[in-house]
Amino acid sequence: MNVYDFTVKDRMGNDVSLKDYEGKVLLIVNTATGCGFTPHYEPLEAMYKEFRDKGFEILDFPCNQFADQAPGSDDEIHEFCTLKFGTEFPQFTKIDVNGETADPLFAYLATEKPFEGFGKGLKMAALKKFADANNKKFGDKAYIKWNFTKFLIDREGNVVTRFEPTADMADVKAAVAAML
């Protein structure tokens, strides 16, 4: 099994087989428009512009399960991202990434590369405490700990690594560049 075995919904509600992305390096991200990590859209878009001609795609999945930080409709979220950050990478319909209603793709990704922590420091400890309280309601199905968790997928559809939202975006870019 790999990511090509999954079908997701585009923001218009149409089925999209991830097999359509076969042979590309993917960065799959759960996002939110009202999060402290929302500025990640800027380096993500810069990465997309720099690498898309080399076989790179970013797949953006908005999620409102973390402190209600993506409350808008699919169209409102898309408009926000394109107007504020100029995003051009594919954005899919808003999904759940945790609990009984978790999208199967994210349950798979998180099972392949489980959470290993946010890192060290006061900010990381504060985020962990807040995330733990938020995710308590999902029990053993709290697959994703916060917005802007990123999964790097190789050209064969295998999950290579997981980046928590606290990861340095320069490290994310370096990992993507190494795969290309």
Instruction: Name every residue whose Cβ is closer than 8 Å to that of residue 100 and which is 6 or more positions away in sequence.
Output: 141
Q: Which helix (H) or strand (E) segment is 129 a member of?
A: helix 122-135
- Catalytic choice (25, 29, 35, 77): 35
**Is residue 13 classed as helix, strand or coil in its secondary structure?**
coil
Is 35 in the active site?
A: yes
Rounded Cα distance, 101 and 120, in Å: 31
Asked whether the beta carbons of 5 and 89 are under 8 A apart, the reply is no
The candidate with the shortest Cα–Cα distance to 85, out of 54, 40, 122, is 40
**Is residue 168 classed as helix, strand or coil in its secondary structure?**
coil
**Residues classed as catalytic:** 35
